[in-house]
Structure 1
Amino acid sequence: MSEAAASGAERSGRWPPVRVEWDDRDRHRWVGPLAAVGLVAGAALALFGLPPVDLHTPLHYAGVMTPMCGATRGIHAALLGRLGDAWRYNPLSVVLVLGAAAALLREAVGRQRGRWVNLRLTHRPTAYVAGALLLVALEAHQQAHADLLRSGAAARPPAWLLLPIALPVTAAVTLLVLSLVRRAAVREQ
């Protein structure tokens, strides 16, 4: 079979829309540092507890749960080993914690062996449809657990009051992570 026919046959498969490859080059350099920052922030949550402010959006008070509602409490619970509670608060929190741990493992193995596990989209439309369906399922889960997600934050001041402080700090952390990723990329070249 010719190379063009082989690649056409390979692209015709729609599921799974992602292919796992081993490469000599890290095609996702940002994943390891981002996972490290996320796990450090999650460890701070586990160590010091939940933030003393209300992190809800205005829609939350109208009874509309967004896909990220419960994520902070879910990550807190997941990093304390309470995966059942984490799943109830927000299934995405369990996926984020396990995904971050897997990303750090990928980073360690890649640096040790000089070969990287890379994911490549093989069929974008299928990936988009699968992502949309997962988002709809997450939103249905969040709405079904609205009573749980609306509990516990009544006495805390709204987080949007901290926006003048939070935005510059978030921007500084983002710039720091990006500079570290760039510096690592320059060293690898």
Structure 2
Amino acid sequence: MGPLVAAGITAGAVLAVVGLPPVDLHGPWHYLGVMGPLCGGTRGVHAMLLGRLDEAWRYNPLSLVLVPGAVLALVRETVGRVSGRWLNLRVTHRRAALLLALLPLTALTVNQQAHADLLRTGPESGMPTGLLLYAAAAPLIVIVLAVRLRSRRRADPS
């Protein structure tokens, strides 16, 4: 997870310096008026990295947790690689943890839908780039899932 987090922090730093991308990266549901829990996330992280906490909260409250969480994950990765000792968290009651995670996720989804007018604003490129990216990524996702399923079947001795 370390390289992914490092790439995310780097991308966030680039966004903070260069600004938001001038393309529409929304998913398919966005065009139907459905705001998911990640809607406004890019603008929220951008605002967070610029120190505009109230703006980050308005776009997506999750951004206030995401940026510090990414920094902590990167610190964990660095300490683990240097010392060979890793801080791990073991969840023993998975159903309870899942239910506890679903509560704030549901609240965030409701919050984002309530702010649909704010979240619908963005680059007016005319081209829904997000839909093109989803269409391009779909075959790749199917291939990756097929390869993983096949490798699991080969690894299973039964």
What do the CA deviations read for 1:142-188 (whole angstroms, capped 9, x no partner)?
A: 012112111233345211464399749x99xxxxxxxxxxxxxxxxx
Moved more, 81-90 or 64-73: 81-90
Point out where structure 2 has 5 or more consecutive residues left out of the alignment.
Answer: 142-158
- Measure the CA separation in 1 of the matches of 2:86 and 2:130: 40
Tell me the TM-score normalised to structure 1 length. 0.65
Instruction: Tell me the number of residue pairs that the alignment of Structure 1 and Structure 2 aligns.
Output: 140
- Measure the CA separation in 2 of the matches of 1:57 and 1:153: 14
Sort the Cα spacing of 1:97 and 1:166 in 2 relative to 1 into closer, same or farther, 3 A: farther
Note the 1:32-181 alignment, pairs <5 A. 32-160=2-130, 162-163=132-133, 167=137
Q: Kindly report the root-mean-square deviation, in angstroms, between the aligned alpha carbons of the 2 structures.
A: 2.4
In the TM superposition, residue 94 of structure 1 has moved relative to its aligned partner by: 2.2
Structure with the larger strand share: 1
User: Higher Cα Rg: structure 1 or 2?
Assistant: 1
Q: Percent identity?
A: 61
Tell me the TM-score normalised to structure 2 length. 0.76
Equivalent residues of 2:28, 2:131 under 8 A apart: no
> Matched residue of 1:118: which SS?
coil
Point out where structure 1 has 5 or more consecutive residues left out of the alignment.
Answer: 1-30, 172-189
